[in-house]
A and B are shown apart, each in its own frame.
Chain A
Amino acid sequence: MHHVVLERWSRQASPLHRRDSRAKIVCLVVFLVAVATTPNRCSPYILGYALLPLCAVLVGRLPLVGVLARAGIVLPFCAALGLVSLLTGDVERAAALAEKSYVSAMAVLSVVGTTPMPRLMSGLESMGVPRFLLWVIQFLHRYLFVVSEQAQHMRLAAESRGLAGGLRVRKWQARAATGALAVLFARSYGRAEGTYRAMLSRSFTGRLQLLVPHTFDWKDGLVLVLGVLVPVGLRQLMVLDIWRSL
């Protein structure tokens, strides 16, 4: 599954994996803002921003083909809206939208792929995001695989009993599917209560702890400075259209 692969990537060891999550989050936001605010007339150069996530992939020892393919998930939506822009005769906008979305997705992947989820959440918490929301996100991420697996088993069982999308919808089919969802809801609810009781028995104090606390050293500072200056500089070069004047 997609999130399991990403989780495996984030648990590897590399110079980028060791960097402070807060520095990486700031760099990501600056990069995304630089890309989003680049004028559409710069569409021939926007792919140049990919240089930065590519460097991150290289330093973070992530599989290049995997990152490029996963970033392509955004392309169907871009294709749909790009087609709309093409129909209205705005080729420049269509190309710029697709490039911006793809490059942004690459950047997100390169940060999430080099930062384990608990560290990412802890970084966000120290930047002021409500702790309660971050807990919910973390629990959701942890139980995604378990509940999804259960849903897949139930789907398989339902299909083996003849529940398939045919030309005609029968009432019992719809009732069986809603019943399956209700059972999945009940099982998830029960699991959540059990989990909470188990956590309390392990003396859960209401706060999720990191095994290794955050440390911000000069290398993190260097990443932060480069991660802020390079995208801003690239944007400026594109806006000034420096390549055309050369």
Chain B
Amino acid sequence: MHIPDGFLSTGVCLATGAASGASVVWMARRAQAETEENRAPLLGVMGAFVFAAQMINFPVGVGTTGHLMGGALLAITLGPASAIVVMTAILVVQALVFQDGGVLALGANVFNMAVAGVLAGYLPYRLLARAGGRGVAVFTGAALSVVTSALLAIGELQLSGVKMPPAILGVSLALFAVSGLLEGAITLGVVRALGALHPGWIRNPPGVSRRRALAAVAFSALLLAAGAAWISSSEPDGLEKLAERTSIASRARALVPALLGDYETSLISTPWLSKAAAGVAGLALVFGLAVWIGRMQTRKKGA
């Protein structure tokens, strides 16, 4: 997932560099202000811990092993601002000392793994931990952190012109999904063991009102839907190709006069904007359906 130098286009390097530079400066100030004491030694040693933790292999089965990546674990124990600083420090040391990831690509790598990865790992914990689903929140956060970082890396490479055939893209996505599940399981295990050792190390997230939690989830989903629609607008995905080849698509079109045909709304002329709008409309439809099913379930339970 560490992108080396030479792979990213100038535009992607500049955009991700500006985004991660601003975020890291802001988060470094926040992390420093969070406590009265100077936390630099603590954060540095915890960074060394994540490095070292990557040496402890976990048996995954079929003779293979995996290891912790650590973004979500750091966010849950140190808080998101400190975790972003520690992950950035890890990535800088990896780029300078271990040649793992490039120096110019550092902006992109920091954005993917330190900023987006840590925030994606912390968001479910912040939203769900108080609602009684701490285990689910830890697992989901850790898995989401790995998958988000990987998807961003793939997206940046695609934007820079490194085209991947659909088959390879599919295999990579499957591998990232497996790593995400593994990260979730390891992080959950470590958080439980840490809770037994010293409960004070696991941060209790501040309470979030149900309305704000819902708004955050809705906003993230909207961003994902619009972003995915934009990426998919460049070329048809594997499923679409398969559908064309097996002529399922033409039969389906004949059978179902789709409301959001080929994910486009005819009212908007810009292709990617219309796809994004259609994606959002589809999302609203699915959301409405989910709310309706949820209400039916609670009514059944109440009855």
Contacts and interface: CB of A to CB of B under 8 A. Distances in A.
Interface in B45-68: 45-49, 51-53, 55-65, 68
Nearest to A87: B165
B201 A147 contact: no
A139 B31 CA distance: 16
B48, B103, B185 interface centre (most CB from chain A within 10 Å): B48
A15 B212 CA distance: 60
B165 to A, nearest CB: 6
Interface residues of B, number: 76
B44 A140 contact: yes
A167 B56 CA distance: 18
A216 interface: no
Interface stretch (B94-102, B237-245, B265-273): B94-102
A143 B93 CA distance: 12
B53 A169 contact: no
B301 interface: no
B130 interface: no
Nearest to A191: B45
Contacts of B44: 135-143, 192
A154 B37 CA distance: 31
B53 A181 contact: yes
B93 A178 contact: no
Contacts of A55: none
B261 interface: no
Interface of A: 2-3, 6, 28-29, 32-33, 35-37, 70-71, 73-74, 77-78, 81, 84-85, 87-88, 90, 93, 96-97, 99-101, 104-105, 108-109, 112, 120, 130, 132-133, 135-144, 146-148, 150-152, 154-155, 158, 163-170, 173-175, 177-186, 188-189, 191-193, 195-196, 199, 206
Given A158-B56, A183-B193, A192-B41, 19 more contacts: A33-B104, A100-B5, A101-B4, A132-B29, A133-B24, A136-B43, A139-B40, A139-B44, A140-B47, A140-B89, A140-B90, A148-B55, A150-B52, A165-B60, A170-B59, A173-B59, A184-B53, A193-B42, A196-B38
